[in-house]
Amino acid sequence: MSRSRRITAAAVLGCSLLAVAAVAPADAAARGPAPAGGSSGYVAQGGRYTSVAASWTQPAFSCAGGGTGASYWVGLDGMTDATAEQAGTSTECSGGVASMSAWYELYPAAPVYFANPVSAGDRLSASVSTGGTGTFTLKVTDVTKGWSQSANRSLPGAQLSSAEVMTDVPASGTGGGTAPGGSVLVSFTGATVDGQPLGASSPTAVEAPGTVVSPLTGGEAFTVSRG
């Protein structure tokens, strides 16, 4: 059985979780792929991490009621240091219309969006890896549509002090899901850190207000739901 601790997103924010700060834009088009609201998922700390990966199905999303968007990602760093290396997908709301995209980000630089299309129901995977020399490979694959994009980028000073599998939860709007009423925001599978099941790294469950992160199944799968 994998071991994990559970803390609130507020506690994580108190530790300067840049994965949230990096995607809390004043101008969503210029700043980042996700809105403010909080991050929910799992984070591994206490070691030196060189890779993280996970898969998910892109949720449907309603922008009704002032919805801002959501994102789904994996990343290294961002808990206690000044850099973060992330890759994933997002939904952004503009004029009440949802648009979906894939991206990578090496914070503090702005995210870079891939031109490839992403749709609700697509099966996706993302990974971030490094040889430990400051060069990162950031990859997103859309299994449903049959495309894969990757970028090799350098980020001097990366500490490799944490690994995350997260969703940035919308402050409003409704994430699609498998449960009645859309209570399941996203389900992650195949989550690994350094090539091993996520649970082997004794990760911490992070819960934004109003969300519940399930225990790990098989050390590598979990859901994030509305509380």
pTM to 2 decimal places: 0.83
In angstroms, the CA 176 to CA 182 distance is 5
- Tens place of pLDDT per residue across the chain (227 aa): 333 434 334 334 333 233 333 332 222 222 233 334 589 999 999 999 999 999 999 998 888 776 678 999 999 998 888 899 999 999 998 888 889 999 999 999 999 999 999 999 999 999 999 998 899 999 999 999 999 999 999 998 899 999 999 999 765 555 554 444 458 899 999 999 999 999 999 999 999 988 999 999 999 999 999 88
The neighbour count for residue 217, using CB atoms within 10 Å, is 13
Q: Fill in the DSSP letter of residue 221.
A: B
Phi, psi (rounded to 5 degrees) for 54: -165, 165
Is residue 196 helix, strand or coil? strand
Measure the CA–CA gap between 94 and 111, rounded to whole angstroms: 18
Cα dihedral: 34, 193, 217, 33 (round 10): 10
The domains of the chain, with CATH numbers, are: 5-210 (2.60.120)
